[in-house]
Amino acid sequence: MSQLPNSFPIKFAYWVPNVSGGLLISKIEQRTSWDIDYNRKLAQIAEQNGFEYALSQIRFTAGYGAEYQHESVAFTHALLAATSKLRVIAAILPGPWHPAVLAKQIATIDHLTGGRIAVNIVSGWFKTEFTAIGEPWLEHDERYRRSEEFIRAIKGIWTQDDFSFSGDFYRFHNFTLKPKPLQQPHPEIFQGGSSRASRDMASRISDWYFTNGNTLEGIKAQIDDIRAKAVKEGHSVKIGVNAFVIARDTEEEAQAVLNEIIEKADLEAVNAFGHEVKQAGKASPEGEGNWAKSTFEDLVQYNDGFKTNLIGTPEQIAERIVALKAVGVDLILTGFLHFQEEVEYFGQRVLPLVRELESRQADQVAA
């Protein structure tokens, strides 16, 4: 299934570093902090530099390092309170969260912050974490069956009065949420994952599908698959792709940074992470999905962010972003080594080139 480039400008998000250790499992120096002062300033820099979204993470225990973790919904609220345009996406795990609690929390924050919150429903890959907090661990596809019910439940609560629902995981009887969220019809619902079950859920119900970093071909294959299914379901879903960005004035500098990150990888933590993620894509019936094919080097950025290859000069990166857009990507989810400095560099040096290439393409289509 081929398609014309989307006519709207591609959007940019950044990962909120609300867990310690940045976005890398490496001992390289990172001028990135998980604390609130650093993150408030980062959010302000991001919204002044063309970033539309920020994505927080949910973690209850250390995983890929990430020894300290701030909770995602509370942290999201703090970032929204410190900004005026940025949309912040809070990550939620069905299991620890009940849909009624989440729907109410988000509706309230939506009113407190002028309608800028969104949610990322993540289905879980970290069994040790669930065991640590006494939460039952479901098989791979059961986790997605629960997530889909969770999404149907929050959508129902946000949009209907006297909401009733009878699922295998959740039940509601004539429940009316007041107030409903400010955003109509409801705050945007993102999801993370890339297995068959995850893609099928996206093609039925989510507003946005977030996937790990991948090659252009790998991303295109996923998008074609999801969008073909979504058409049959009468649904439309937008696509966000993770990428760890290393933008430097020369290609050599950017490659040298990548080499140093890999050379200084925390071997023990990367291997432990590689073991845990076997509960994700590899545990799915088809054996595909996130991390199913990741090498040691891929895992050093814990969402396969090097694979997307936004590593090089601003010109090279802008061209690759436009190529991603051409295969149907709507949003790039970025991670950086030194977040504050590099978000600004990206906004000043890369983003204008992307907009220029987009407008040239639009002119070619119109001609």
* Interacting residues with ligand FMN (CB under 6 A): 57-58, 91, 93, 122-126, 192-195, 198, 210-212, 242, 280-281, 284, 289-290, 303, 333
List C-alpha distances in Å: 180 to 105, 144, 161.
11, 26, 9
With respect to ligand FMN, which residue has the nearer C-beta, 194 or 308? Answer: 194
With respect to ligand FMN, which residue has the nearer C-beta, 128 or 316? Answer: 128
CB of 354 to ligand FMN, least distance (A): 20
In the 8-state DSSP scheme, what is residue 164? E
Closest CA to 237 of 289, 191, 305: 191
With respect to ligand FMN, which residue has the nearer C-beta, 304 or 358? Answer: 304
CB of 91 to ligand FMN, least distance (A): 4
With respect to ligand FMN, which residue has the nearer C-beta, 281 or 347? Answer: 281
With respect to ligand FMN, which residue has the nearer C-beta, 50 or 192? Answer: 192
Q: Count CA within 13 A, CB hemisphere, residue 96.
A: 21
CB of 63 to ligand FMN, least distance (A): 8
CB of 56 to ligand FMN, least distance (A): 7
- Return phi, psi of residue 11, to 5°: -100, 160
For residues 265 and 26, is the Cβ–Cβ distance under 8 A? yes
- Where does residue 249 rank: exposed (0-12), middle (13-18), buried (19+ CB within 10 A)? exposed
Alpha helices for the chain (secondary structure H): 36-48, 72-81, 99-112, 127-132, 140-159, 196-204, 216-233, 251-263, 267-276, 296-300, 314-326, 339-345, 351-366
For residues 305 and 290, is the Cβ–Cβ distance under 8 A? no
With respect to ligand FMN, which residue has the nearer C-beta, 79 or 333? Answer: 333
CB of 153 to ligand FMN, least distance (A): 18
CB of 92 to ligand FMN, least distance (A): 9
CA distance 158 to 348: 38
With respect to ligand FMN, which residue has the nearer C-beta, 177 or 329? Answer: 329
Closest CA to 123 of 134, 106, 132, 135: 135
CB of 122 to ligand FMN, least distance (A): 3
Sequential DSSP letters for 117-128? EEEEE-----HH
